[in-house]
Structure 1
């Protein structure tokens, strides 16, 4: 069972992390936890591919961020609703050389007292390697229950049969690795996939819905219970997106649609006052969105110990 006590530990596991790596909260009757999968380094140029590099450099300087490369946060979530335990995305995994600080979610989940064997459902926001790679780790594959339900949109599965990278601006080795990882994920779990079309209720108050944009089948997850709500937005937004929601990210397969989706979600969250978590906002990536002129403002929560 999840707990709002962020110090929850398994009695048989000694945590190895010396920094906070999980944050628990409750959305009505739903227990939820944000878990850091670690970070991976990326070039800053991928943060804004449709603007003058000088404008990006000025923004990075304004935000006290390094000019050439930055640590890309990786966040996943786990939720407990009724008798179901739902993992939302699965991080990068440990099979990619050069990213030793990523792929941390399995041991961090374990040190929170949550066994992989207890996971009944997995929601995949999209099939990029930093969202499905964790399910390809041998120990994870062995420990997931044989009847685990893996929820992914039909448009996402269809896209990865013949993915289009023509509008992306990624480091050269990345597209091939994304393609092979998505194929490996599908081949490994095809018998356990629960494919949905537009919107699907995975568990009481746990809804997944397709947004498109980042990938054609990119989806987000809404936790709704007791008049409270939280949206896990996957890759619909990145840190620069609040100030410049129209800036394109190099990993977006349809950048213009991604910008429309991002602005729509920001407006929705500003209106409903719900909490936001996203895969690549700094851990614990938990806060609210406010309108700030033609841009938006990120309002982090105050940590509740």
Structure 2
């Protein structure tokens, strides 16, 4: 079964991105079932809400997890290092749209400061 390929043309164009695109294409070909790409604000299973987080990579989403009165936000790669929390204006060569990712980081920080929502991310240290 052919799996539809994401549109990579709007992402970063460098050696790192070229490797990641090649890697993705290789493994998408191995999938035997259809891939469903979710849209911003889609809700999965009644408790996982996709939240657009543009700028780092094409189609990046955070995931808002809710259970009763408790909320948790998975921030994906919005902050790839804890230094970016203190310096959201910094970035790296794999940010596909640097100005947009800075705006996204600032917006996420503002939201978290106002809401006091709990968060976790792949690249952040475990809270103590």
Q: Can you list the C-alpha shifts for 1:90-141, whole angstroms capped at 9, x where unaligned?
A: xxxxxxxxxxxxxxxxxxxxxxxxxxxxxxxxxxxxxxxxxxxxxxxxxxxx
Question: C-alpha separation between the residues in 2 aligned to 1:223 and 1:235?
Answer: 16
C-alpha contact 2:38 2:50 (8 A) present in aligned 1:
no
> How much has 1:263 moved relative to structure 2?
0.8
* Structure 1: runs of 5+ lacking an equivalent: 1-153, 285-299
C-alpha contact 2:76 2:121 (8 A) present in aligned 1:
yes
Secondary structure at the aligned position of 2:124 is classed as coil
Indicate whether 1:157 and 2:17 are aligned.
no
Question: C-alpha separation between the residues in 2 aligned to 1:202 and 1:241?
Answer: 29
* Structure 2: runs of 5+ lacking an equivalent: none
Q: Residue 224 of structure 1 aligns with which residue?
A: 66
Give the direction of change, closer, same or farther, for the CA distance of 1:222–1:190 in structure 2 (3 Å limit). farther
Give the direction of change, closer, same or farther, for the CA distance of 1:211–1:164 in structure 2 (3 Å limit). closer
Give the direction of change, closer, same or farther, for the CA distance of 1:190–1:252 in structure 2 (3 Å limit). farther
Q: Residue 182 of structure 1 aligns with which residue?
A: 24
Indicate whether 1:256 and 2:99 are aligned.
yes
Q: Residue 24 of structure 1 aligns with which residue?
A: none
1:287-302 mapped onto 2 (5 Å cutoff): 300=127, 302=128
Question: C-alpha separation between the residues in 1 aligned to 2:108 and 2:57?
Answer: 16
Count, aligned residues: 124
Q: Residue 280 of structure 1 aligns with which residue?
A: 123
Which residue, out of 54, 76, 91, partners 1:234? 76
| Structure number with higher relative contact order (C-alpha < 8 Å, ≥ 6 residues apart) | 2
The structure that is helix-richer by fraction is 2
Give the direction of change, closer, same or farther, for the CA distance of 1:198–1:227 in structure 2 (3 Å limit). same
C-alpha contact 1:214 1:254 (8 A) present in aligned 2:
yes
Question: C-alpha separation between the residues in 1 aligned to 2:39 and 2:98?
Answer: 22
TM-score (structure 1 length as normaliser):
0.37
The structure that is strand-richer by fraction is 1
TM-score (structure 2 length as normaliser):
0.82
Cα root mean square deviation, aligned:
2.3
C-alpha contact 2:11 2:57 (8 A) present in aligned 1:
no
